Structure 1
């Protein structure tokens, strides 16, 4: 695999603008072997302490000398998105649906540490609604891997040549657990999260920009929802693994019922982990329509074999 070393971490706004300029290309089908054999890398990256403090304040979290896991995801995400914005990437960036994240946060990372960021795409495969792909991201300090994640994305309506789409798997009826919190998200939530982590995807920013991409209203960033959940569920000072699956998007403005649960109670579909001692589940849902927005789990690293990022 060819590694492209980037001069600097790309600006996400510029990548989305680049994708918008190429959005006239309509992709209906892709070949199984069409992913570019390329990885991207950015070196000597320093975390902005100002952005980190803004992130912690946005979430109402304590200011610690420890970088939150979702903040690390946001730090490496522009390197991964650079791959999706390339002209030779087979799937369209705009309109891609974020399905899930699977992360191993191997040890606490200090804000003062210098990072290397790496990303590549793999495993183009069929989905009942189109074609999905994995984005593999890694954060290193020197030669030490400190964080790795697999983000799963779906290109709806794009067929994978030579594959037939599977039937939808039946899901059990969603039975909400006892509420432990209620999040009230105003119309500016997407913009404020974007200002901290730079993810200016137009589906999150305003009513006008969301409608241009076919949505009725802007929706919350999936990683904002993950960050809010991990604020309650993730430990501090140790390594851990976490995963989240997304179901119905959270429209802005809106509210989310939230609960910490056992890991087995948190599933929105197949693929979540079995309950392990020391694990914590979480789930967010729409109280009015009684349908899940997301669910996931956090597991101590010693127990995390079943929820690893799968980056090997």
Structure 2
């Protein structure tokens, strides 16, 4: 452990064990209070596991190529995010935390064989109408140059703030004339399958029996799995670099479910909606700009 007198730095030689983090959080749940700690989680010298990359690509629908999928670095950074949120002085409760939004900015493609350094920290603690929210910022660097940045917004439910300004997705009006798109059947086991690839063993995603005590009648799909499926489906319509990808997670995607993706494609802009097959439940709104 190292760092300046002000910023504490936690260094990881390997990805933190998410099973242990979740198990500990379930046992030691605590109230939410206080400011965000000035601490950074750092993991250096990361070489991508090619077998895991292939499994992830197949799971989410990406084509395995020379560059990493846009969402893949998040999977590497996510255990560091959870390690920070499990720290004793972190003000948001990890158990039951809700992933609200995610913004990814890719400066350039990341070659599969490149060595990555990751730094993760929390910022912008602020009220939410259903509790408190904060941003977990993840930066991936190659040879000291930042090549990828992700901002994940998490909600910890608690004292309500009805006057808190909401973060709303863009208008879906461009999708009014888009009637069709790919349809996917997501089985009851999709959360367990994605957990084996991602390491994210949050009990809300695994089985109805483990999701019910946390307030969900069934297991729900990982938000980053749904998001990755959208990004993968857009495929070659997205540029190789200079793209900003943003997702607003709306209603939980209960398993099993059938969903449809619709996208409105314009120059330098794609707006997508992942919704139930009947269109009555919005699961995710995704916007790409470049």
Say yes or no: TM over 0.5: yes
Give the aligned CA root-mean-square deviation in angstroms.
Answer: 2.2
Contact 2:128 2:166 in 1 (8 A): no
Bigger shift: residues 80-89 or 234-243: 234-243
Residue among 11, 17, 22 paired with 2:17: 11
Contact 1:103 1:147 in 2 (8 A): yes
Contact 2:270 2:287 in 1 (8 A): yes
Residue among 291, 294, 297 paired with 2:284: 294
Contact 1:126 1:165 in 2 (8 A): no
Deviations 1:111-167, CA, capped at 9 Å, x for gaps: 2111111100011111111111110011111201010011111111246xxxx5316
Indicate the residue corresponding to 2:210 in structure 1: 209
Bigger shift: residues 236-245 or 180-189: 236-245
Contact 1:70 1:227 in 2 (8 A): yes
Q: Name segments (4+ residues, structure 1) moved above 3 Å.
A: 167-177
Indicate the residue corresponding to 2:262 in structure 1: 259
Match of 1:183, SS state, is: strand
Indicate the residue corresponding to 2:272 in structure 1: 282
Distance of aligned partners of 1:169 and 1:142 in 2 relative to their CA distance in 1, 3 Å threshold = closer
Deviations 1:77-103, CA, capped at 9 Å, x for gaps: 111111001111111101011100011
TM-score, normalized by length of structure 2? Answer: 0.89
Unaligned runs of 5+ in 2: 1-6
Contact 2:221 2:252 in 1 (8 A): yes
- Measured in 2, the distance between the counterparts of 1:43 and 1:102 equals 22
Distance of aligned partners of 1:280 and 1:11 in 2 relative to their CA distance in 1, 3 Å threshold = same
Distance of aligned partners of 1:77 and 1:173 in 2 relative to their CA distance in 1, 3 Å threshold = closer
Deviations 1:21-56, CA, capped at 9 Å, x for gaps: 212x3x2x524xx21111110111111100000111
Indicate the residue corresponding to 2:3 in structure 1: none
Contact 2:62 2:69 in 1 (8 A): no
1:257 CA displacement = 1.5
Contact 2:18 2:199 in 1 (8 A): yes
Indicate the residue corresponding to 2:241 in structure 1: 238
Unaligned runs of 5+ in 1: 263-275, 301-312
- Measured in 2, the distance between the counterparts of 1:92 and 1:71 equals 25
- Measured in 2, the distance between the counterparts of 1:185 and 1:166 equals 36
Contact 1:130 1:165 in 2 (8 A): no
TM-score, normalized by length of structure 1? Answer: 0.83
Indicate the residue corresponding to 2:123 in structure 1: 122
